[in-house]
Amino acid sequence: MSQTKTPDKTPTQRGTTLIELLSAMAILSVLILVLATMLDAAFDGFRDGAETVAQRGEARVALAWIERDLASHVSSRPANLPRLPAGISEQQRESFEGRLFLPFEVNRLSGSGEPSFPNAANGFGSLAFATRIGTSNDETRETPPAVVGYYVAYARHSPLAGDDGAGMKLFRHYRPGGHATGEGYADGLLLHATRAINDDGDPTRALGAPKEAVVRQGLFENAGFPFLFASREDPNTTAGPRAAVPPWPARPMSERLVSPPPTYLPTRGSDGDWADPTSPVHDSVFPDEAICDHLVRFELKPFRRVNLPSGGSSLMDASALNQHLGLSGGDEWPALVAPDLIEVVITVVDEVTARRLSRYEDWIIDWDRVESPAATTADRALLATSRTTRQRIALPARTP
């Protein structure tokens, strides 16, 4: 009896061909490439966003420091003083008569003594003034005036030996009120400024002898006034003013300093030195830490609202104010006049661009060219990687 053979319905098994394998790998490679590109773009966007936040954050922190200091600035106050000499204009008499002054330095260039910031980089703004930000006196409950300044300097990124990376940074310098004999305090600086500008108060001066105080002589040009950080006096001696240790940045590039400090970092002294009021350690000024890094622009433009003889008022910049007061200061802000507001512009670049600015000169940017139609490809690339923060800071209403 013959047996009928049923067909085998089991699926035929065969191997993957080389062509199929290569096709699958090619498709997978394309998918991985697309995914990697998408992830890279996402990470780039995240990094750019985070860096932008960091850049703007540093600029905003710096602006907050400046605004805080300006909120308590001390520049002039009414005082019962003799009339100024005859021959000065009505505008000058209105601004300068019957007042005691402290300098308010904005982009200060001319003055007696050394500059306030001899190690500052050229082409950047600078600011220095007296402020009441500080610790109050327990007995009088008053805050003695401090001195604060802002400047840009070229400084190393790291104190480590062999690390020569450096860049432009914005520094805040602060000297609290108190201890007029110490370099680290404001009183000796303010004493010298007060005597030189207002009245030297010297009881030994012969009757009729000319006063040293320039304002009492009817002289209002910046060249006659001391820089805030240039000289100081000791009220307990008659030795007169002497040069003060100027502000200088942490980790400076010594070859870029006009007056480099005698040591790279000043000695801190022992606990015993600090406990001893006669120790010279109290005459040390310690380096200033940066409050904004990778800085390529720091501009300060002050304005003062002036009442006009014809009625109304005008918001004057430095040039217009000098002309109004009959001074020859040009574009330099008159140091006896506190502004009503200051326009501050801070521009920083990202980390990648900062690494490419390897020389001191690379950080000095010609912004008139960069922001003009004549900008080069390199200028446009710099603009694309920079972030600018611009703010007008109003000062408190001045005392009439």
- For 84-107, the pLDDT digits (tens) are 888 899 999 999 999 999 999 999
**pTM of this structure:** 0.80
Do 245 and 105 contact (CB within 8 A), yes or no?
no
Cross-strand partners of 342: 302, 393
pLDDT in tens, 129-170: 999 886 555 555 567 899 999 999 999 887 766 677 899 999
pLDDT band at 209 (very low <50, low <70, confident <90, very high): low
pLDDT at site 126: 96
Domain residue ranges in the chain: 44-256+283-394
Percent of the chain's residues with pLDDT above 70: 79
Average pLDDT for the chain: 83
pLDDT in tens, 343-393: 999 999 999 999 999 899 999 999 999 989 999 998 999 999 999 999 999
For 113, 178, 196, 197, the CA distances from 201, given in Å and listed in that order, are 21, 20, 10, 11
> Which residues are within 8 A (CB) of 63 and not within 5 positions of it... i.e. 6 or more apart?
344, 346, 389, 391, 393
Q: In whole angstroms, give the CA distance from residue 107 to residue 123.
A: 10
**How many CB atoms are located within 10 Å of the residue 144 CB?**
20
| Helical ranges in the chain per DSSP H | 18-70, 90-96, 187-197, 271-275, 318-325, 351-356, 367-370, 377-384
